Structure 1
Amino acid sequence: MLGYFIRRLLAAIPVMLVLALSVFLLLRLSPGDPAVIIAGDMASPEQVASIRTALGLDQPIYTQFFIWMGNMLQGDFGTSLISQTSVMTMITQRLEPTVSLALAAIVFTVLISVPLGVIAAWRQGSWVDNLVMSVSVVGFSVPVFVIGYIVIQVFAIKLGWLPVQGYRSLDNGFGEFASRLVLPALTLSSVYIALIARMTRASMLEVLKEDYIRTARAKGLGERLVLFRHALRNAGVPILTVIGTGFALMVSGVVVTESVFNIPGLGRLIIDAVLARDYPVIQAIILLTAGLYVFINLLIDLSYAITDPRIRY
């Protein structure tokens, strides 16, 4: 296990280097000049040239890349071209809402989708199975922003149970924190509930046909014990893969949800940075997201041996 863990860590290094180079070149070679954006339309060529020199944009691209990589390895992602604030400071300020939303969404997803998938597989062909599959199709088909506006209209405006928009940190109390996360978390999790429920159902259907499931039932074990201890554990590898990937997608794909519910997270930050061509902020967020993908994939691979004892690295 330790050797596998080390090999995966070493394999992630060239992946991150290639990604960093791709992101750097993609942004630098795209049309537009950040110096012109910062200086404004009325700036003289001399003022634009002065800003380019101050930002190091007048140097060759490879020189800019090596300087940027050296600073990044020291934990310095640079300064925002627009706000003149440290990029790490900006990300740290916006990280809590996004991570909180993603964690709440993945909790809702697992608690709802896995039992639904297990029940659908257990009652294959019944009305319960058809209902779960129909709900899954709706979850896949309806855009996230539409679901967001529907839950706002029903639970916030009509019923008045929850706040409409905004975010409150844990410092304001758990009640304020949780009440403002319920609707956006349910909205964000809608697609993943449909995906994981279908994946759970498909995996369970394969496992329920195995001989050891019939043996467990023949021994007189309760149906709940057979389903959740024997069948679900052996069907857990593909389910864990989808759950882990879904969490990474939630962190990086909360742009629409944060916009609908007015949450000041990384999604709003990346939109503002792209519109302003704020290179350091865009690069830092993309690399942070890529690092999260690598880390979660590593955790998923390591969890296989825990979930399924037949797997050993």
Structure 2
Amino acid sequence: MFGYIVQRILAAVPVMGFVALFVFLMLRLTPGDPAAIIAGDTATPEQLQRIREALGLNDPLHIQFITWIGNLFQGDFGTSVISGKPVIELIAARMEPTISLALTTIILSVLIAVPLGVIAAWKHGTLIDRFVMLISVLGFSVPVFVIGYLMISLFSMQLNWFPVQGFRPIGDGLGQFLHRIALPTFTLTLLYIALIARITRTSMLEILGDDYIRTARAKGLPERLVLMRHALRNCSVPIITVIGIGFALIISGVVVTESVFNLPGLGRLTVDAVLARDYPVIQAVILLASLIYVVINLLIDIAYVLLDPRIRYS
């Protein structure tokens, strides 16, 4: 296992290198001049030249890339060309809303979706099964921003139960935190409930017809133990995969949800940086998202062994 983990970490190095090169070239070769954006429309050619020299934009591309990579190895992600603040500080300030939204969404989705999927597979072909599939279809079909605006219209504007937008850190009190994060969490939860419940149902249906399930039932075990201890554990690999990927997707920045509910997360930071062509911020956020995917995939592979003893890595 340890050797496999080391191999996966080493394999991630060229992947991250390719991502870094791709992001660097993509941003540098697209039309637009960040110096002109910083200086404004009334800037003189001399002012633009000074800004380009300060940012290193006049250097050849390979020199810019080598300088940037060297700074990364020193823990320097650069300075925002718009705000003038270190990029690492901007990202750190935006992490809490995104992580909070990701954790609350995944926890609520798993607590609801996994039992729904198990029940749907157990009651296959019944009204309960059709109801769960209807929820899945609606969750996949309706865009997230539509669900978000419907939530705001019903629970904020008509019932006045929740605020329309904004975020409160958990340090301000658990009640205030949950009150602000509830609507965006419910909005994303509908999507992930649909995904996780559908995968759980499909995986359970493949398992419930196996011989060891019939043997467990023949022994007189309660149906709850048959479903949860024998069936669910043996079909947990695809379920944990979906949960892990879903968590990585959310924490990488759900732009639409953060925009609808005005959450100051990584998604909003990315949008603002793209519109302003803030190269250092865009590069750092994309690299962070890539690193999150690599780490999540590694944790998923490790979880396979813990959940299914039949899986072994050489």
TM-score bracket, normalised by the shorter chain, equals over 0.9
Residue 254 of structure 1: aligned partner: 254
For each residue in 1:72-122, what CA deviation from the matched residue of structure 2 results, as whole angstroms up to 9, or x when unmatched? 111110000011100000000011001100111111111111111100000
Give the Cα separation in 1 of the matches to 2:69 and 2:48: 25
Match of 1:121 in 2: 121
The gaps in structure 1 that reach 5 residues or longer are none
Of stretches 261-270 and 282-291 in structure 1, the one that deviates more from structure 2 is: 261-270
Report matched runs for 1:106-255 at 5 Å: 106-255=106-255
Alignment: residue pair count: 313
C-alpha offsets along residues 136-186 of structure 1, whole Å, 9 cap, x if unaligned? 100000000110111122222222222221100012101001111111011
Is residue 253–residue 265 contact of structure 2 (8 Å, CA) maintained in 1? Answer: no
Q: 1:223, 1:44 → 2: CA distance? A: 77
Instruction: Describe the SS at the equivalent of 1:75.
Output: coil
One-letter code aligned to 1:93: A
**Range with greater deviation from structure 2 (187-196 or 76-85):** 187-196
Query: Structure 1 residue 253: deviation in Å?
Result: 4.0
**Inter-partner Cα distance in structure 2 for 1:80 and 1:123:** 55
Aligned to 1:14: 14
> 1:74, 1:225 → 2: CA distance?
53
2:172 partner amino acid: N
Q: In structure 1, what is the Cα distance between the partners aligned to 2:270 and 2:232?
A: 38
Distance 1:189 1:27 in 2: 33
Give me the whole-angstrom Cα distance separating, in 2, the residues matched to 1:268 and 1:146. 18
Could you say what the CA RMSD is over the residues aligned between the two structures, in angstroms? 0.8
- Residues 252 and 292, structure 2, Cα contact 8 Å, conserved in 1: no
Q: Does the Cα contact within 8 Å between 1:244 and 1:297 map onto a contact in 2?
A: yes
One-letter amino acid of the structure 1 residue matched with residue 240 of structure 2? L
The AA in structure 2 aligned to 1:221 is: L
Output one character per residue of 1:13-66: Cα deviation in whole Å (capped at 9) or x when no partner. Answer: 000000000000000011001011111111111110111001110000000001
Matched, 1:57 2:57: yes
Fraction of identical pairs, as percent: 65
Instruction: Give the whole-Å Cα distance in 2 for the aligned partners of 1:112 and 1:144.
Output: 19
Match of 1:28 in 2: 28
Q: C-alpha separation between the residues in 1 aligned to 2:66 and 2:189?
A: 40
Report the residue type matching 2:67 in the other structure: I
Distance in 2 (CA, whole Å) between partners of 1:172 and 1:41 is 42
TM-score, normalization: structure 2? 0.98
Partner of 1:5: 5
- Secondary structure (helix, strand or coil) at the match of 1:178 reads helix
2:227 and 2:81 map into 1 onto residues whose CA distance is: 55
- Check if 1:37 corresponds to 2:37: yes
Provide the rounded CA distance (Å) in 1 between the counterparts of 2:115 and 2:163. Answer: 28
How far apart are the structure 1 equivalents of 2:295 and 2:123?
36
